[in-house]
Amino acid sequence: MQSNRFDRDAYRKRSAESRERARQHRVMKARNRFIMWIVIVFFVALAIFAVVRWALPSSEGAIDLPAVSPVPSAAPDSSASPSPSASASASATPVPITKTDSSYQSENLQITIEKKVLENVDGDKKTDYYVADIVCKDMSLFKTAFSGDGDSIPRNSYEDPVTISERYNALLSINCDNAGYLTDGIIVRNGTLYRFKPSDRDLCMIFSDGTMKCVKENTIKSKDEIASLIANDGLLHTFSFGPALITDGVAKGDYSDSQVQTFNPRSAIGMVEPGHFKLVIVDGRTDENRGVRLIQLEQIFKDLGCTEAYNFDGGQSSIMIYDGKIQNDIAGRDTPRSLSDILYFAESAQ
């Protein structure tokens, strides 16, 4: 009798343990299925994001700006006689256009390109760099262009910068901030606003009077400010990349907050005085050319006498094209890297 009772208790215990194991197994399978579905959903969402972000072509068109009342300007003194320089300018014979393999000169535009060598950039290693000295008397000749139809910022649609340059009859062009790759920033091109998503980067502004100014992008709080800058101050272009190398004559000096501090090919712009610009392209990432750090790029612009200087997208994007010919080594590539936009100078229309 006791033996039967013992057998029944043992049987109930084994049954209970079996049911508990079965329950735990079901719980574990359910948990694993849940985790599996979470992982699947995550990777599907990641794939969709990747397609939209890096594969699916899209664009950002012009943004309508609020109306801005013009700032009244001082009326000219009608009784004042014209200055000697103005009279001379009005009666002067137009400057004939002269063009060589490394220079261009007309009445409103002067370009001189010089190849230089920076020694001992990293131990005994050197790097080549190219300086385009530009005097632009008519800022309508300082232009920018997007890839594709040119009417909007292209996303995931890039083009050979030589092709873009040829489309717009560019005399001289370089890469700038690759605005189509980034998703934020303030982007004004040729006096039109295309994006207003202020970031914490430095912003480079080019004005119709030939001045260049670098500011913190997030100090511009509204589209009204941009509208005023365009309408009243003649804002032509903004570039959102950075960092600023020199601002109001003061060099940055410390680049510890920069994400790219190593030796790299570089692209940058500087201003000596209004209308007088320096474009610099530095070779790198090859056996012959090391590239430079940002502090060395800053020193190049200091030596060039610039009061403002600003770093563009670099690496394999760095390119200088003059008269349809690539001037630099483009990081050892056989063909240029496709880009979303260029900065260029041209006197003839498209």
- Angle, CA 17 vertex, CA 15 and CA 18 arms, to 5°: 60
Alpha carbon distance 219, 241 (integer Å) = 15
Tell me, yes or no, whether 202 and 304 share the same domain. yes
Does residue 10 sit in the same domain as residue 123?
no
Range of the domain at 285: 59-65+97-345
Judged against a pLDDT cut of 60, whether residue 82 lies above it is answered with: no
- Asked if 166 and 219 sit in the same domain, the reply is yes
| Nearest CA among 138, 171, 134, 125 for reference residue 325 | 171
Q: What would the mean pLDDT of 112-134 be, rounded to a whole number?
A: 96
pLDDT at 286 > cutoff 90: yes
Specify the 3-state DSSP secondary structure of 151. Answer: coil
Q: Locate tokens 């060589």: which residue?
A: 100
- DSSP, collapsed to helix, strand or coil, labels residue 201 as coil
What's the pLDDT tens digit per position in 49-74? 555 554 556 779 999 988 877 776 55
Spatial contact of 255 and 293, defined as CB atoms under 8 Å apart: yes
Residues 204 and 288 in one domain: yes
| Three-class SS state of 275 | coil
pTM score: 0.82
- For residue 208, CA distances in Å to 39, 162, 173, 191 come to 53, 26, 19, 9
- Give the tokens for residue 171: 């005399």
In a domain, 176, yes or no: yes
Based on the domain organization, do 126 and 44 belong to the same domain?
no
Mean pLDDT of the chain: 88
**CA-wise closest residue to 335 among 346, 348, 345, 321:** 321
Question: Do residues 207 and 260 both lie within one domain?
Answer: yes
CB 170 within 8 A of CB 344: yes
Domain count, the chain: 2
Banded model confidence at residue 88, pLDDT cuts 50, 70, 90: very low
Task: Identify whether residues 43 and 107 lie together within a single domain.
Answer: no
Alpha-carbon distance of 196 to 225, in angstroms, equals 11
Could you report the per-residue pLDDT of 151-185, keeping only the tens digit for each?
Answer: 899 988 899 999 999 999 999 999 999 999 999 99
Q: What is the mean pLDDT of residues 248-277?
A: 93
Output the pLDDT for position 86: 41
pLDDT for the residue 203 = 98
Residues 6+ apart with CB under 8 A from 342: 144, 145, 161, 164, 165, 170, 173, 174, 175, 176
Q: Is residue 78, in this structure, part of any structural domain at all?
A: no
| 9 plus 152 within the same structural domain | no
pLDDT at position 51, please? 52
